Structure 1
Amino acid sequence: MMHVESTETTAKKHADDNNRNETGFGRKVTRGGFNETTKTVDWLPAAIGVIVLLAFLFRLPTLSGRSVWMDEAYSYWFSSLSWWDLWTKTPLYETHPPFYYSLLKIWTMMAGTSEAGMRSLSAVASLMTVAITGYAPRLSGFGKRYDRIGIVASLLLALNQGSIEYAQQARAYALQTLFCTLMILMSVILLQRMLLEKRDKPEIHGARGLYIASGIFAGATLWLHNTSPFIIFGNWLGIFAAISLFSAYKRHDLMLAAKGLLVALLVWSPCIPILLIESRTVAASFWVTISPKMITWPYTLAAGGKFAFVPAIVVAALGWLQLYKTRKPFALYAAAILFIPVLSIFIVSYLFTPIFVVRTFEWMAPVFLFLVAFGLFLPGKMEKIRLAVLAVLVILCVGQDVAYFRSNTQDLRGAVHYLASNYQPGDLVLVYPNELEVGLNYYTRALPTPLEIATVPAKYPAVAMARPYLGSNKGAPAAIESDRGEIARMLSQHRKVWFVGDWSGPDAKLNVVNSELYRERGEPVSSVDFAGTRITLFAEK
């Protein structure tokens, strides 16, 4: 007997098959008169696993081999303080919130305070960000056909030089990127349910959990760095704009979004007094200089470095244009999150206080790379050159990574090794500015024989002294004329003095410490630079 199907029935079956493939439940196949169900293979977990492994391998080199630099030494210093001092005293002279140092304090109780032990917190956060980036389209409910975009974005993030660099630093940037990525993911899921899913009533499934989660992750982002309010501003400005323009239930959805922002502010509220104290420190004096050309630097960082910048920007722009054609609310949101924080910080830095530090924009990388991945899957000509363009981006990223692995960074370990190898009993290690002692301390703590170290004008942190301070560090006072007598006294008691600090020679403009050293000891015997840490030996005349 001939079996006949109508066109309508066939179309319905094809639609059912597609729906099953989209949701991962499998499809029905008829063989020999029997109905069998074969499940489609979900390759996403395996693909993400391979990419996370690749990311791990790229974050291993120099994780412990590279010396800590001054900022990491500060991380060790602050995380070693008592809880009381960390939360009540450090805001008086430190320009970063104590939240990261608190997390590091807990982490190092388990992982130790070696270079790898301290940095492993950032490395784990970076690997989690890579995994979340890969799963983001699936978690957002966009369907399995968007999995490939998540895969490519996570691959590019795994090889991203900035992501690798800050995964290898005991600083807050990798954690900030993780929490910021989670905040953006929760925001996108909420927007997707508001704007793309068919709604016959204002209520949204899981809305409370989503706005609470987005608020908590935003609050954690705010706790990690004092420039994070600009990120939150861009995020919620994008959310409010998308809802105002595209939601069928504007009032209801705006209230939901506002609740998420309120949660973020409540989580952050205990930090606001600390921010006000630290903002006065930054406003008084900060080391950053600002230039118009710097406006592109955050996007260079997000692209994975200078090598990949141009092709990544082009593909990301094409991806955004396609996103604007197909999903306007998300194109608007992406533009807000990628441009508003950068422009806001740049304007504040240009007109008021220079706070534009490129590494504080590492959080942008996952969102930017999503646009790059989206651009790679454009219909038309891109289909023919997709793999070639991706290969070029991967090669350029790897080249940037190799350049980073070979680059020199501040070598505090080498400086202390040099001192320990040449220091003799009766010598003096003279440190100026006093904050350099924080850097030396990380490595001198392990020496079998302690070095005699003196700081000018006082040990770090020297707070509230009646004198100028060096930059924004209110624990590092400047040496003044009245310190000459004490410097001369210290020099008179030691045959050799190892000076740790800047030495440009007698022809340069000398500070009080340099000029007193030159007056008492004359020309130095030797001077060695350890990629930013200079050690100069002065002997008796």
Structure 2
Amino acid sequence: MTGRAGFRCVTLRYVTVSPASGPADGRARRGLASAVTWAAPALLTLVVTAVGLDRAQPWRDELATWSASTRSVGDLVRLAGTIDAATGPYYLLMHGWLALTGDSVIALRLPSLLAMTGAAALTAVLARRLVDARAGLLAGLLFAVLPGTSRYAQEARPYALATLLAVLATLLLVEALRRPGWGRWAWYAAALAALGLTHLIALTLLAPHALAVLAAHRLGLTPSTDGPDRRRWRWAPAVLPALILVAPLVVVGRAQRGRQLNWVHLVRPDDLTALPGGLTQSGVVGGVLVGVALLGAARLGWRALLPGGAVLLPVLLLFAAGAVVPLWVPRYLLFVVPFACLLAGAALAAVPLPGALALVAVAGLLGLPDQAALRRTHEWPRSAPIDYQGVARIVAAGQQPGDAVVYSPRHSWLFLDLGLEYHLRGERPRDALEVEGQARRGDLWAAECDRPAECLAGVPRVWLVVTGRHADPVAAVPGAKGAALRDGFTVQRVWQRPGLTVALLAR
């Protein structure tokens, strides 16, 4: 009797305790699995992109960011009205950031690194929402090992931030469709507005978002009671603030296009085929990503409409516009890469996890040569680096009181003056031909003296910095500036650095 009673007691104790602890344990396991889904890609991205963060010296575009972001707010407004309205909000953000952190190479690039880390995490979360947790984990990990992720995580430009905001806006759209409410639509509207202010081209994402809204029920994103008319009336007001905010940037930027994009050509068919390699910074890895993403799209069927549209529609819209107006710049489409990784993650999720992780590792290994190359220089082609720092060291080691510096060409996208100024700061020689600086002009280039011979009068020595490799750099300087240098000075010594030549001239 006692044994049976004891057995009953134990049985009762098991029955009463187990139901209370089981669901809690299950929730904890699910919570841990959910955290791993996004935390692992975020951590991997942070580690990979932080390696060699300051190894490649700032290139021309980053020098423009540094020049703009270290100006006063008034000078920034003047710059936006002259040449760079579309990037003005990003410069304003960086202005505040650099005021807090200083302007070292790491400080310049850290916002992009953090943005790419966040983009990896959100890519995983979005893939988990649209597919499953395994697809989310694999999509995020694949995004982390792409050379293009490191390249733009290590660049002080708005593309990484736009990538983060593109994924965030899409995730918030999915949440707003699944659980409608004005609060969720307001968050979506805020993310969309931030995306447009960061990168105008990224608003082409509105096209796949519109498709997702129209097909939300078929995609399983909304309850059956939520009809298409109701979804449209919720989505349209959320889009409106972004369109209103970016409208002035579009108007001003359109007038500036001739100066800002005068180096861009009309798009050609081969530009489209080269796009995967351009975005991933590796032709091999780009090809692999496209192939696996296509398999993922086939596996998902209708569920591929949103991520697939987020890849294809922005590309096709920019390609169509680029056939009429010079707009096609591959890095402008960087924000579509996470959605390609989402589709690829869906394909890899069909493989047992060890095999899928091995395939991600193979993609990472294929990109290693490009990972190493992009940490040497950000210039393209990478076989033609521009060594601003090397020239700055030569000038710093040999300059004397009274020295001046002359650049040729002055109005170049290589920004010779900004490169020397960044590395020498207040220690650079006087710019003998400058009559109005960049900030005062509201421009990226300074204005030069109309009569170089008069402006160089009384200067005992000149440091001449020219683009390219020249045995006789003075002969490479055209016009009145070259004549003034040839008539008034003799070459004392010439140094050649990658992409640049520097000469010391004396009376």
Considering the TM-score relative to the shorter chain, is it more than 0.5?
yes
Equivalent of 2:204 in 212, 223, 230: 230
1:188 is aligned to 174
**What TM-score, normalized by structure 1, do the two folds share?**
0.77
For the 8 Å contact 1:72–1:170, the answer to whether it is kept is yes
Change (3 A) 1:526 1:90: farther
- The alpha carbon displacement at 1:282 in A equals 0.9
Q: 1: distance between equivalents of 2:279 and 2:295?
A: 16
- The alpha carbon displacement at 1:51 in A equals 3.4
- The alpha carbon displacement at 1:147 in A equals 0.9
Q: State yes or no: 1:265 paired with 2:265.
A: no
2:276 is aligned to 299
Equivalent of 2:362 in 392, 398, 423: 392
- The alpha carbon displacement at 1:189 in A equals 3.0
Q: Deviations over 1:260-306 (max 9, x none)?
A: 2123224x2xx422332222121356111243211134423444622
Change (3 A) 1:213 1:94: same
Change (3 A) 1:340 1:511: farther
Change (3 A) 1:338 1:141: closer
Q: State yes or no: 1:344 paired with 2:320.
A: no
Q: State yes or no: 1:428 paired with 2:418.
A: no
Change (3 A) 1:111 1:438: same
Match of 1:428, as an amino acid? Answer: A
Query: Cα RMSD between the aligned structures?
Result: 3.4
Alignment of 1:527-538 (within 5 A): 527-532=494-499, 534-537=500-503
Q: 2: distance between equivalents of 1:351 and 1:264?
A: 25
Q: 1: distance between equivalents of 2:480 and 2:90?
A: 34
Change (3 A) 1:30 1:87: farther
Q: 1: distance between equivalents of 2:452 and 2:205?
A: 47
1:200 is aligned to none
For the 8 Å contact 1:303–1:313, the answer to whether it is kept is no
Match of 1:68, as an amino acid? Answer: P
Choose 366-375 or 305-314, whichever is displaced more: 305-314
Change (3 A) 1:58 1:540: same
- The alpha carbon displacement at 1:34 in A equals 6.4
1:500 is aligned to 465
Match of 1:255, as an amino acid? Answer: W
Choose 405-414 or 106-115, whichever is displaced more: 405-414
- The alpha carbon displacement at 1:47 in A equals 5.3
Alignment of 1:156-171 (within 5 A): 156-171=142-157
Change (3 A) 1:387 1:439: closer
Q: Deviations over 1:472-495 (max 9, x none)?
A: xx654897xx93xx2223445334
For the 8 Å contact 1:303–1:369, the answer to whether it is kept is no
Q: 1: distance between equivalents of 2:506 and 2:14?
A: 100
Q: 2: distance between equivalents of 1:523 and 1:102?
A: 44
SS for the counterpart of 1:337 is helix
Q: 2: distance between equivalents of 1:438 and 1:312?
A: 37
1:404 is aligned to 374
Match of 2:35, as an amino acid? Answer: P
Alignment of 1:103-252 (within 5 A): 103-138=93-128, 140=129, 146-191=132-177, 193=178, 205-232=179-206, 234-243=207-216, 249-252=227-230
Match of 2:238, as an amino acid? Answer: G
2:3 is aligned to none
2:8 is aligned to none
The structure with the largest helix share of the pair is 2
Q: 1: distance between equivalents of 2:363 and 2:126?
A: 21
For the 8 Å contact 1:288–1:355, the answer to whether it is kept is yes
Change (3 A) 1:211 1:283: farther
SS for the counterpart of 2:103 is coil
Change (3 A) 1:517 1:230: farther
1:94 is aligned to 84
Match of 1:367, as an amino acid? Answer: F
Q: 1: distance between equivalents of 2:440 and 2:74?
A: 18
Match of 1:372, as an amino acid? Answer: A
- The alpha carbon displacement at 1:511 in A equals 3.6
Q: Which has the higher contact order (CA 8 A, sep 6+)?
A: 2
Structure 2 residue ranges without an equivalent (≥5): 1-10
- The alpha carbon displacement at 1:430 in A equals 0.5
Q: Calculate percent identity across the aligned residue pairs.
A: 23
Q: State yes or no: 1:417 paired with 2:393.
A: yes
Q: 1: distance between equivalents of 2:282 and 2:138?
A: 17
